[in-house]
């Protein structure tokens, strides 16, 4: 068992299509590297590029999510340190990796054709921690855990927004 949190966006159906439209308003940007194949993503695009989905996410979803995380981890605040989207078309995948220099990794499932496509989180001895995720859920887990996105063997796109967060326990300016 790993420490994790699952936050269900209560009004997700009101946001799903808006988020998808905003994600696809960004010009196609594929990532093919090693064992990674992601048909559309914005991780490596310039950070100053306009990303309307980020503002939409921050204005409509992040504050309730952050409140839930603060309650779960007994912290005063949550700082988002990075955010990106990934669209996995048929045969796309993202190999095993971790997120260094962050407290928590978060995956928001915008479109999930099948539960077999949820993030696989690895325990010691390469055992996979099984997640019970629905579309509209955000799973949160420590960034140092190795994880991957399995091969999408379905015709429908898997679409996620991933973001890293740090927990704030004291005055932000005191660090």
How far apart are alpha carbons 148 and 135 in whole angstroms? 18
Q: What is the mean pLDDT of residues 114-118?
A: 97
**CA triple 65-59-112, angle to 5 deg:** 60
Q: What residues contact residue 140 under an 8 Å CB cut-off, 6+ apart?
A: 4, 5, 6, 7, 69, 104, 105, 106, 165
Q: How confident is the model at residue 121 (pLDDT cuts 50, 70, 90)?
A: very high
Tens-place pLDDT, residues 73-114: 999 999 999 999 999 999 999 999 999 999 999 999 999 999
Tens-place pLDDT, residues 20-48: 999 999 999 999 998 999 999 999 999 89
165 to each of 77, 82, 98, 104, 153, how far by Cα in Å? 10, 7, 14, 5, 30
Question: Residue 50: exposed, middle, or buried by beta-carbon count in 10 A (0-12, 13-18, 19+)?
Answer: exposed
């Amino acid at each position: 068992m790993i420490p994790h949190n699952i936050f269900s966006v209560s009004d997700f159906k009101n946001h799903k299509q808006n988020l998808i439209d905003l994600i696809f308003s960004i010009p196609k940007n594929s990532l093919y590297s090693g064992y990674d194949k992601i048909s559309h993503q914005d991780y490596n695009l310039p950070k100053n590029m306009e990303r309307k989905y980020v503002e939409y996410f921050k204005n409509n979803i992040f504050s309730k999510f952050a409140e839930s995380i603060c309650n779960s981890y007994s912290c005063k605040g949550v700082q988002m340190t990075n955010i990106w989207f990934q669209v996995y078309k048929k045969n796309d995948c993202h190999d095993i990796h971790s997120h260094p220099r962050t407290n928590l990794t978060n995956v928001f499932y915008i479109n999930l054709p099948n539960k077999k496509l949820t993030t696989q989180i690895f325990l010691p001895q390469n055992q996979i921690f099984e997640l019970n995720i629905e579309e509209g859920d955000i799973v949160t887990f420590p960034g140092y855990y190795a994880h991957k996105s399995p091969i999408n063997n379905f015709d429908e796109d898997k679409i996620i927004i991933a973001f890293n967060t740090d927990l704030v326990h004291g005055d932000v300016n005191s660090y």
